[in-house]
Amino acid sequence: MERFEKADTNYPNPQNTGSEKTGTEKPGVITMINGPVVRGSGMSHFAMRELVQVGELGLTGEILQMDGDTSIIQVYEDTTGVRVGEPIRGLGRPLSVCLGPGLLGHIIDGIGRPLDRLMEAEGGFLARGTHLDPIDMGRSWEVTPLCKVGDTVSPGMAVAAVKETDLIENRVVVPRGVEGEVEFIAAPGYYRTSDPVARVRGASGVTPVMMYHYWPVRTPRPYKERLLPDEPLITGQRVIDGLFPISKGGVAAIPGGFGTGKTVTQHQLAKWSDARVVVYIGCGERGNEMTQVLEEFPSLEDPYSKKPLMQRTILIANTSNMPVAAREASIYTGITIAEYYRDMGYDVAMMADSTSRWAEALRELSGRLGEIPAEEGFPAYLATRLAEFYERAGKVRTFGDQTASISVIGAVSPPGGDFTEPVTRHTKRFIRCFWALDASLAHARHFPAISWTDSYSEYAEEVEDWYHQHVDPSWSALRGEARAVLAEDDTVQQTIRLMGEDVLPDSQRLVALTASLLKNGYLQQNSFSQDSFCPPEKGIMILKMILDFHNQAKKLVAGGCPLSLIRRMKELIELTHVRELAADDKAGFESLAKRLRERLAKVGSERLAGGGEEEAEPAPAPAQEGRGV
Partner 1 sequence: MAALTEYTGIDKINGPIVMLKGIPGVGYDEVVEILPPGGGEARLGRAVMIGEDAVMVQVFAGTEGLVPATSRARFLGRPLEIALSPSILGRTFDGLGRPLDGSGPIYSDIKRNINGSPMNPMARVYPRDFINTGFSTIDVLMTLIRGQKLPIFSGNGLPHNQLAIQIASQARLVGTENFAVVFAGVGIKHDDAAAFASSLSRRGTNLVLFQNLADDPVIERIATPRYALTAAEYLAFDLGMHVLVIITDITSYCEALRELSVSRGEIPSRKGYPSYLYSDLASLYERAGVLKGKEGSITFLPILTMPNDDITNPVPDQTGFITEGQIVLSRELDARGVYPPIDPLPSLSRLMKDGIGKGYTREDHPSVSSQLFACYSRVQEVKALAEVVGGDELGDEDKAYLAFGEAFEKTYINQAKDENRDIGLSLDMSWKLLASLPASALTRISMEDMEKYIKPNQPNRQGPAEDAPAGKAAAAV
Query: In the window 431-450, what residues touch partner 1 (CB under 8 A)?
Result: 440, 443-446
Min CB(576)–partner 1 separation in Å: 5
Evaluated on CA atoms 261, 262, 266, 267, the torsion sign reads negative
Closer Cβ to partner 1, 16 or 263, answer by number: 263
621 binds partner 1 (CB under 8 A): yes
What is residue 585's DSSP assignment? -
216: enclosing H helix or E strand: strand 213-216
613 binds partner 1 (CB under 8 A): no
Cα-Cα end-to-end distance for the chain: 53
Closer Cβ to partner 1, 416 or 610, answer by number: 416
85 binds partner 1 (CB under 8 A): yes
Decide: 52 and 61 in contact? Cβ < 8 Å. yes
Q: Give CA angle at 490 (555, 471), nearest 5°.
A: 65
Contacting range for partner 1; rule: CB under 8 A; set: 217-225, 476-484, 518-526, 606-614: 518-526
Min CB(516)–partner 1 separation in Å: 9
Report the alpha-carbon distance of residue 615 to residue 489 in Å, rounded: 24
Contacting range for partner 1; rule: CB under 8 A; set: 210-218, 478-486, 517-525, 592-600: 517-525
Report the alpha-carbon distance of residue 179 to residue 581 in Å, rounded: 56
Q: Beta partners for 188? A: none
Decide: 438 and 464 in contact? Cβ < 8 Å. no
531 binds partner 1 (CB under 8 A): no
Contacting range for partner 1; rule: CB under 8 A; set: 81-89, 129-137, 200-208, 585-593: 81-89
Tally the C-alpha atoms within 13 A of residue 370's C-alpha that lie toward its C-beta. 6
Pairing of strands 169-173, 87-94: unpaired
Pick out residues in 242-281 that bind partner 1 (CB under 8 A).
257-259, 263
Site string for partner 1, 143-182 (x = CB under 8 A): ----------------------------------------
124 alpha carbon, distance to own chain's centre: 28
566 binds partner 1 (CB under 8 A): no
Total of residues contacting partner 1 (CB under 8 A)? 95
Pick out residues in 568-607 that bind partner 1 (CB under 8 A).
568, 570, 572-574, 576-577, 580
Report the alpha-carbon distance of residue 326 to residue 42 in Å, rounded: 25
- Binding test (CB under 8 A) with partner 1, winner from 520, 538, 550, 607: 520
What residues have CB less than 8 Å from 243, skipping those under 6 apart?
452, 455, 457, 479, 482, 483, 523
68 binds partner 1 (CB under 8 A): no
Closer Cβ to partner 1, 499 or 608, answer by number: 499
Min CB(318)–partner 1 separation in Å: 9
- Binding test (CB under 8 A) with partner 1, winner from 97, 174, 294, 437: 294
Q: Where are the alpha helices (DSSP H) in 559-585?
A: 563-567, 571-577
Contacting range for partner 1; rule: CB under 8 A; set: 92-100, 163-171, 191-199, 372-380: 372-380
User: CA of 215: how far to CAs of 199, 337, 384, in Å?
Assistant: 20, 9, 22
Min CB(287)–partner 1 separation in Å: 5
Report the alpha-carbon distance of residue 280 to residue 538 in Å, rounded: 27
- Binding test (CB under 8 A) with partner 1, winner from 53, 60, 247, 319: 319
Closer Cβ to partner 1, 295 or 465, answer by number: 295
Decide: 531 and 470 in contact? Cβ < 8 Å. no
Contacting range for partner 1; rule: CB under 8 A; set: 9-17, 43-51, 181-189, 612-620: 612-620
Min CB(277)–partner 1 separation in Å: 21
3-class secondary structure, 290: helix
Pick out residues in 87-126 that bind partner 1 (CB under 8 A).
107, 115-116, 118-119, 122-126
Report the alpha-carbon distance of residue 179 to residue 28 in Å, rounded: 39
